[in-house]
Amino acid sequence: MAIEYKKNQAVFVDVVSVDEAETLLDWLQNKPNAKIDLGRCSHLHPSNLQVLLAAKVSIAVWPKDINLRAWLESILTITQAV
């Protein structure tokens, strides 16, 4: 399982593939205040990223992967700032 869904948090693990996006979208629709843990995530397919952006989620834990974090920060922080 590339996304572990907890009570109010989705934990992204390793590579989160394109197939996860629909489930993620459904889950976030029901949990508008959910947070995302990207700590153990090494990559996520942009479809998932789009869901996170549209849902304006807040990131509980940033990825340990520095490269991924840098890329994600460039858009996720901006969106959150808005």
Partner 1 sequence: MAKTIFVVDDSATILMSVKNNLEIAGYTVESAADGVIALDKLKSGLKPDLIITDINMPNMNGLELIEHTRALPNFRFTPILILTTENQQSSRDQAKKLGATGWLVKPVGGSDLLKIIKQVLPGA
Partner 2 sequence: MNPLLEQFLSEAREFLQGIAEKLMQLENTPDDSYLLVELFRLVHTLKGNSGLFEFPEMTRVLHAGEDLMDAVRDGRVGFSQKLADDLLDAMDFVSVLCDQIEQGGKIEADMTVDSYRLAESLRVLMASQMTSAQTPVVDDAQPASTKDTINFLALNQLPETVRIDAYTRAMAGETLYWVIYTPIENCFFQGEDPFFTARQTPESLWGQISAQEAWPPLAELDAYRSALRFEALSAASREELIEHYRYVEDQIQLIPVDPWSFVIPQGNPNGGPVYEDFVLDALQYMDAGDLTALRSVAETMLQLSNPELWLSSALRWLILLLDTVPPNHQAITILIESLRSLKAPDWSLLTDTLPVVTAVAVAPTIETGSEIKTPVETSSVTRADAKEISEADALALASIFATQLQILQLDDNASWQLGRIKAVAGVLLNCCKAIDDTHAIAAIEEALAASLAAENSAPLIDWLTARSLNVAVVKPVAEPIAEEPPIGLKTLDEAAPMPTVEEITPELVSADDVPKFGRRPDESTAAKSLKVDQAKIDRLMNLIGEIVVSKNALPYLAQRAEEQFGVRELSREIKAQYAVINRIAEEMQDAIMQVRMMPVSFVFQRFPRLVRDISRKLGKEVHLVLEGEETEADKNIIEALADPLIHIVRNSLDHGLELPDVRRAAGKPASGTLTIKANQEGDQVIIEIIDDGKGIDPEVIKRKAYEKNIIDEATLERMSDLEAVNLIFAAGFSTAEVVSDLSGRGVGMDVVRTAVEKVNGAIQLDSQVGKGTRIRISLPLSMAVTKVMIIESDDQVFGMPMDHVVEIVRIPVSELTSIKQSLTTVFRGKIVALKSLNSLLGLPAEPIVNSDGEVAVLIARLGNEVVGLIVDDFHETIDVIQKPLTGVLAGLGAYSGSALMGDGSVLMILNVRGIV
Residue 26 sits in the site that holds partner 1 (CB under 8 A): no
Instruction: Give the C-alpha separation, 56 to 28, whole Å.
Output: 10
How many other CB atoms are there within 10 angstroms of residue 27's CB atom? 16
**Shorter beta-carbon distance to partner 1: residue 65 or 73:** 65
Residue 13 sits in the site that holds partner 2 (CB under 8 A): no
70 binds partner 1 (CB under 8 A): no
Residue with tokens 């460039």: 74
Gap between the Cα atoms of 63 and 41, Å rounded: 6
Provide the binding-site residues for partner 2, judged by CB under 8 A. 18, 21-22, 24-25, 28-29, 32, 43-51, 53-56, 67-68, 70-72, 74-75, 79
